[in-house]
Amino acid sequence: MNLSPVLALAGLAAIGLLVTRLPLPARRRVPWLDPVLAAGGPLVLLGIILGPGAVPGIGFLDGSLLRSFAPVTALAIGWIGAGLGAQFEWRSVRRISRRAWLLAALPSGAAFGAVALGAWMLTRALPALAAAWTPRLAAILTLAAVAAVSGPGVVALVAREAGLRRSTARGLVLAASLETLVGALLFFVPVALHRGDGLTTIAFAVGSTALVGVAFLSLMRVWPAGADIGFAVLATLAFGAGVGYATGLSPFVVCALAAVVIVHASPPARRHAIRRVLAEWERPVVAVLLVITGALLTLPTAWILLAVPFLAAARAAAKWAAVRYGVRTLPLAPVPLPLPPPPPPNIGLGTIAQGSVAVALGVAFLLLYGAPGGAAVLTTVVLGVACALLAAPLLMTLALRAPVVVSAPALPAPPAPLTESVEPAQLSVHTPVEAPR
């Protein structure tokens, strides 16, 4: 189907706006399906239907249109990265305890290692997967970095549906946010592999971040006071996404780092306005990205359908074991009295759900390395996110299940003494001394 890119882009923009404006139809609630629907599963399905060759006779988004959408896709990835980076302001980060950072880094690192090892084993055992996930090392590290990522928004939804207390839900959302940050930092490794030199990649990242930050601050100097800064944020992120796409650094990395710089360099009122703009336009931007993602999916080998549940199980097991057994070995500072109640032993399963950041990292890999290897990795990522969302309600229930305390058997009572024992007199400052008789 020959279609103008402008018309197709207008259709995608209309889909993104309708997602945020139209009310959802009434339906019977299915608890295990709610996270998939909330994360935009129908939009991915719509992209699969509209994509090239998915359904005979449709082909609304063919290969040439998808290639022409690369700047829009880069902007959407950069917007999601900026939304993540804007949350981590130093004034807020320094209030997070060392215990929280360690408890987030431990399951993320365990999931990274388990999925990297599992993906490597699969490529050694199945040559078809080795041919699909190319370049092999970068693909394995990307799958591992995505496994380290969680989804704070979806975790909050699952926690609310499970009826958690507000304090417990806030703790899980904080852990999911920190795990997402750790996974995003780990994604820097395959980005560095794409450029071939880690030091050069770091230098380009610092220079690009500074350039985008200076561009925004310069724009703010001539911006009318009290005016809406939505267009300024859009223009800055479009510039940052273009820089990241052109230099091979990934729009996600550049915009995330630029958002950190912009938030720290802006006054408090403007800082809150930036976060508000990013949050207000996140849903339509994610909706457009999910439709494009669905159109980009491909299945070069059916072994991916076997690899996805295997990697998902390895990720869940690593997160569970890391929190259950690894916390005991952490060099944590003593907690002041009164001691808080110990967390459930399966609490590592509470942050299994993933969201838009995981999908954005998969699309970023496709933009860096191209098809067909990038499309195969993106398909693996999307299917893995779907598995995590489907299992999230059940795993949340298991995560909050209190441990069963087995009481010790009662000891038999000691035999009664044969003679009555005479207790010695006890003296204290409150006991009067009796005169001798």
What pLDDT digit, counting tens, does each position of 90-101 carry? 888 888 888 888
Whether 367 maps to a domain, the answer reads yes
**11-17: average pLDDT:** 67
Number of domains into which the chain is organized: 1
What pTM does this model have? 0.85
Whether 409 maps to a domain, the answer reads no
- Is the pLDDT at 20 greater than 70? The verdict is no
Whether 278 maps to a domain, the answer reads yes
Question: Which structural domain range is residue 188 located in?
Answer: 29-331+345-399
Whether 49 maps to a domain, the answer reads yes
- Is the pLDDT at 117 greater than 90? The verdict is yes
Look up residue 161 and give its amino acid.
E
Mean per-residue pLDDT over the chain, rounded? 82
**384-400: average pLDDT:** 91
Residues 6+ apart with CB under 8 A from 132: 300, 301, 303, 304, 372, 373, 376
Whether 12 maps to a domain, the answer reads no
Whether 235 maps to a domain, the answer reads yes
Whether 213 maps to a domain, the answer reads yes
Whether 311 maps to a domain, the answer reads yes
Residue 68's pLDDT band (cuts 50, 70, 90): confident
Residues 6+ apart with CB under 8 A from 184: 81, 84, 145, 149, 252, 253, 256, 357, 361
Say which CATH number the domain at 211 has: 1.20.1530
